[in-house]
Copies of this chain bind each other. A is one copy, B any other.
Amino acid sequence: MVRHSATLALDEALRARQAAGQRVLHLGFGEAGLPVPGTVADVLAGAAGRNGYGPVAGSPEARRAAAGWFTRRGLPTEAGHVLFAPGSKALLFALLTALPGDVVLPTPAWVSYAAQSALAGKRVIGVPVPAEAGGVPDPERLARVLREERPGVLVLTVPDNPTGTVARPEHVRAVCELAGRHGLAVIADEIYTELIHDARTPARPAALLPERTVVTCGLSKSMALGGWRIGFARLPAGPFGDALMTELTGIASEVWSSLAAPMQAVAAHVLAEPPEVRAHIAAARRLHAGVARAVHAEFTAAGADCRPPEAGFYLYPDFGPLRPALAARGLDGAAALADALLTEHGVGVLPGDAFGDDPRALRFRAATSLLYGETEAERRAALHGGDPLALPWIAAALTRLRAALTALPSGPRRTR
């Protein structure tokens, strides 16, 4: 039995509450929440004549554009090593199906890795992340696990979802060295890599373990095109990568055929990085950083521990410091905490156990990107205006969050 993806399920539940007229502060879903740039909409419209299936891996134009995009980022890539799909989620599923052996995940990690591993019949070994940043297992703990287990795959998320952080270069180096020594394949999920707030270059597993690292990426986050389902992967050069490409295109050909042809035209345009695409992503980066920092300040002001946001639009606060007060009213784990926020305050967050974290820990993920506005006009103002925190709807959301967090420890005692 495969459960509905926790993030998508929460999103649907929160939108149903909104549709029913309830006031909801939607911090539950990793949708980038920004409008489509006009030029990108024009490219989709201009590609409406493309209705042929085309090659499974993607059109030559789209693959060349992606190869250039990776090459400009310090990962020399040939078009033949790129594979497009309807979302990087589909690619991750295909990778976890194709690559043999148990799967090592950082804990916490994005909700779908474990579910996909289960679908593919794989065992998951969770290894906690360091205190500094999420997305990679703590190297010492990973080394300990590898003394006893013989997994086949290591998934790294740099930058990270759910913690909104960027793994320290020394940690990425250390886990890639371990992966190399133990013969693991590395899946580097880099879908948030364009959204590092200070635009620094992160340590890249594909540069550190070139022959056995697959990079997955997509336009859902950087370009806020989640609903267009554009994902792509970079496979390594060499025999491992060549065999894997054969296997992955085999799975792709039997599960989804190809990315929709008009969406491949969009990918070819965006990945060539014309000026307006660069400007759009830079503006998005500023907005994500500004709002995530403000929400971070609310969590820490409320007494939570929380890693400062470094990328994307996520925070992963730990309300452990408030445990005595919260436990006194029956909030003794992630699910109870998230439920109280939702039912008492209309604040939707995803409890840490959805990410494989300890269910007793008082942790959750808050996505900040749906605060930018309810309408396209509001979102455009947030993206292209000055200080987003000065916009009344964003300021009101922050005020509301503060009120909820302030009231949380002193709410009514809950019964099971």
Contact A31 B5, beta carbon cutoff 8 Å: no
Interface pick from A196-204, A224-232, A280-288, A396-404: A224-232
Contact A257 B89, beta carbon cutoff 8 Å: yes
Q: Is A343 on the interface with B (CB-CB < 8 A)?
A: no
A1 partner residues in chain B, CB cutoff 8 A:
247, 250
A9 partner residues in chain B, CB cutoff 8 A:
253
A121 partner residues in chain B, CB cutoff 8 A:
121
CA distance A134 to B343 in the complex (A): 56
Q: Is A41 on the interface with B (CB-CB < 8 A)?
A: yes
Contact A41 B48, beta carbon cutoff 8 Å: yes
Contact B48 A5, beta carbon cutoff 8 Å: no
Q: Is A263 on the interface with B (CB-CB < 8 A)?
A: yes
Contact B228 A51, beta carbon cutoff 8 Å: yes
Chain B, Cβ-Cβ closest to A112? B254
Q: How large is the interface on A (under 10, 10 to 19, 20 to 34, 35 or more residues)?
A: 35 or more
A407 partner residues in chain B, CB cutoff 8 A:
none
Contact B86 A227, beta carbon cutoff 8 Å: no
Q: Is A181 on the interface with B (CB-CB < 8 A)?
A: no
Can you tell how many copies of this chain the complex includes? 2
A253 partner, pick from B4, B97, B249, B251, beta carbons under 8 A: B4
Chain B, Cβ-Cβ closest to A376? B49
Q: Is A87 on the interface with B (CB-CB < 8 A)?
A: yes
Which of A228, A246, A253 has its CB near the most chain B CB atoms (within 10 A)? A253
CA distance A85 to B93 in the complex (A): 16
Question: Which residues in chain A, 213-266, are within 8 Å of chain B measured between CB atoms?
Answer: 224-229, 246-247, 249-251, 253-263
A262 partner residues in chain B, CB cutoff 8 A:
44, 227-228, 262
Q: Is A321 on the interface with B (CB-CB < 8 A)?
A: no
Chain A, residues 75-104, CB within 8 Å of chain B (1/0): the string is: 000000000001101100100011000000
Contact A35 B49, beta carbon cutoff 8 Å: yes
Question: Which residues in chain A, 1-36, are within 8 Å of chain B measured between CB atoms?
Answer: 1-5, 8-9, 11-12, 29, 31, 35-36
Q: Is A45 on the interface with B (CB-CB < 8 A)?
A: yes
Q: Is A291 on the interface with B (CB-CB < 8 A)?
A: no
A56 partner, pick from B4, B56, B97, B247, beta carbons under 8 A: B4
Give A120 Cβ to nearest chain B Cβ, in Å.
10
Given contacts A1-B247, A31-B53, A229-B257, 7 further A-B contacts (CB under 8 A): A31-B52, A40-B48, A41-B49, A44-B45, A87-B257, A89-B256, A229-B256
Residues of chain A at the chain B interface (Cβ within 8 Å): 1-5, 8-9, 11-12, 29, 31, 35-36, 40-42, 44-45, 48-56, 86-87, 89-90, 93, 97-98, 112, 115-116, 119, 121, 224-229, 246-247, 249-251, 253-263, 376
A and B contact pairs by CB, cutoff 8 A, 22 listed: A2-B254, A4-B246, A5-B56, A5-B257, A8-B253, A12-B56, A31-B52, A35-B51, A36-B51, A44-B262, A52-B227, A53-B226, A53-B227, A86-B86, A86-B260, A87-B256, A112-B253, A119-B251, A119-B254, A227-B260, A228-B261, A229-B259
8 tightest A-B contacts by CB? A45-B45, A5-B253, A227-B261, A2-B250, A41-B48, A86-B86, A53-B226, A115-B254
